[in-house]
Structure 1
Amino acid sequence: MDEIEDLCGNLRLTEEEEIIVECSSGSEEEVLRKGARRLVVKICANRAVGKEVVANTMRKIWRISKRASFLEVGKNVFIITFANHADRQHALEGKPWLFDNFQFILKLYEGDLEPGKMKFNVESFWVHIFNLPLGHMTKDWGERTGQSMGKALDVDVDEGGIGWGKYLRVRVELNLHKPTASGRIVMVQDKKIWLTFKYKKLPRLCFVCGWILNGVDGCSVAADTDCFGLMPIINVGLHSQTLT
């Protein structure tokens, strides 16, 4: 994209092409108003997916009141218009979503952003952290562990900041272009403890590098993977960390 912008910057425009079109503030307000019921999605599959198939499938998965409309703006990139704000909020709060076991990345609608500049490189997941000592099943430890993975968004604890149960549940925003970690080593009173991670709704991963998304050139570790590296993972250690 930067190369295209540099190329355009070096072009010599004709007098006709130098005419500037200005938009009034009223039209911007209209864009924002319409965007209040919209989201943008990218389906991270290595094959094209038709909008009607996506619309029919996701209505069943979301269980929304009315069918949402999908407008294709790029390969597997769609603008979704919901019938009401409640349906839109339901889709946002239920993230992450999968489509045919491929990552279904939802983003807020930005009406002033060109489709080619939209970035779909992060997604939030609920991660179950096992093997924390009982006294460390807290919001503070959840945030520390979550920050080591990406960006900690939420920790499922009670009003006192304590998590009760077999695991601590943390919502983390992950970079999809990095390996998916199966755990972490933590130091508790000079003792090393291995924490095991289990992910909710984890999609297909590259079986070589562990990334959820690879670039258009394929896996950075092995050149013989498919163009997105989106294959069912065969590493037993990571496969066991997936929750449905």
Structure 2
Amino acid sequence: MERIEEMWGHLKLTKDEDEPIELEEEAREEVHRKCEWCLIGKFYMERSIGRAIVESTMVKIWRVGKQATVKEVGPNVFIITFSTQMDKKRIEEGRPWSFDNNLFVIKPFDGYVQPNMMKFDNALLWVQMHNLLLVGMNCECGERIGRSLGVVEEVEVDEDDVGWGTFLRVKVLLDLTKPIARRRKVTINGSKFWIPLKYEKLPRFYFKCGRILHEGNNWQQSGQQEGEAARFGL
């Protein structure tokens, strides 16, 4: 489709083709009201997945209070319309989601971007920061380390901003086109420490480059090759 559109872009337009058609705001009000109940998402997998499969699997996995409707708007791209705001919020906050270990990137609905121009190259993942010094297991340190990975959405700590445990848990919006970080080096009181990183619900990714999104088909399932998978995720 992108190739065809590129070819069309080099053709000389007729007067009628080049004349813009103004769409009135009043005609879009109904869509604005409906989009408040919607999320849009894309499955990253080699084969195409149909709407019926999304309805019969993902909707059941989500256990929504009332039936959600699914509409396909592009290759493996779907709009999900929920019956309640509670269901929509729960699904949005419950990211990441996957199907057959393939990532389903969900984001807020945006009706002002053409479906073929929508970007689904960022996803929220919970990152576990292991073997972190106890003095560093707090909200500030979690945010500082998390910002080296992406945009920090949440640091799981107690009310006093301290998160003691076997690891510090941080929700980060990751750039899926970049290699998955395996560890970070931190400095405390002049001493340097390596902090291993593990990712919850890590989907299929490319072992050769460590990326979730990549051109080609040399991916391996994150649960395979245990020596490598243990360094990347759970």
Please report the TM-score for the alignment, with normalisation by the length of structure 2.
0.91
Q: Structure 1: which 5+ runs fail to align? A: 219-225
Aligned to 1:69: 69
**Partner of 2:132: helix, strand, or coil?**
coil
Distance in 1 (CA, whole Å) between partners of 2:159 and 2:195 is 24
Aligned to 2:110: 110
Distance in 2 (CA, whole Å) between partners of 1:54 and 1:112 is 24
Taking only aligned residues, the RMSD between alpha carbons, in angstroms, comes to 2.0
Aligned to 1:208: 208
Aligned to 1:136: 136
> Percent of counterpart pairs with the same letter?
42
**Partner of 1:17: helix, strand, or coil?**
helix
Distance in 2 (CA, whole Å) between partners of 1:6 and 1:55 is 34
Moved segments of 4+, more than 6 Å: 1-6
Q: Structure 2: which 5+ runs fail to align? A: none
Matched positions, count: 232
**Partner of 2:129: helix, strand, or coil?**
strand
Q: Once structures 1 and 2 are overlaid, which stretch shifts more, 111-120 or 178-187?
A: 178-187
Maintained 8 Å contact 1:45/1:230:
no
Aligned to 1:177: 177
Q: Once structures 1 and 2 are overlaid, which stretch shifts more, 6-15 or 37-46?
A: 6-15
Distance in 2 (CA, whole Å) between partners of 1:4 and 1:85 is 39
Alignment of 1:1-244 (within 5 A): 8=8, 10-215=10-215, 218=216, 226=217, 229-233=218-222, 234=225, 236-243=227-234
Task: Say if 1:9 and 1:48 are closer, same or farther in 2 by CA, change over 3 A.
Answer: closer
**Partner of 2:127: helix, strand, or coil?**
strand
**Partner of 1:70: helix, strand, or coil?**
strand
**Partner of 2:16: helix, strand, or coil?**
coil
Distance in 2 (CA, whole Å) between partners of 1:131 and 1:91 is 31
After superposition, what is the alpha-carbon deviation per residue over 1:137-187, rounded to whole angstroms, capped at 9, x for unaligned?
A: 111110111011111111111222111211111111111111111211111
How far apart are residue 116 of structure 1 and its match?
A: 0.9
**Partner of 2:168: helix, strand, or coil?**
strand
